Amino acid sequence: MIRRFLFDRSASTAIEYGLIGALIGIAILAGLSGTTSSVGGSFQVVMERIGDIISK
């Protein structure tokens, strides 16, 4: 049983996919933050609302 656990790679694959998704999200956020001020203002409103939802 321990031997099977040590050679199971499905968890590491899930972690890798999670890291890839996080990096894509960071790249999207970095791309959006470099846009014009009107879009930046809208982005700020969205981020504040997400922050309000998370803090509840």
Going from N- to C-terminal start, the domains of the chain cover: 2-55
The structure tokens listed for 23 are 């990096």
Encode pLDDT of 18-35 as tens digits. 899 999 999 888 877 666
Q: What is the pLDDT of residue 36?
A: 57
- pLDDT grade, residue 43 (50/70/90)? confident
Q: How far apart are CA 48 and CA 28, in angstroms?
A: 17
pLDDT at 1: 66
- At 16 the pLDDT is 86
Say if CB 32 and CB 41 are below 8 A apart: no
Provide the pLDDT for residue 22. 92
- Separation between Cα atoms, residue 34 and residue 22, nearest integer Å: 19
pTM more than 0.75: no
- Using an 8 Å Cβ cutoff, are 43 and 30 in contact? no
* HSE of 51, CA atoms in CB hemisphere, 13 A: 6
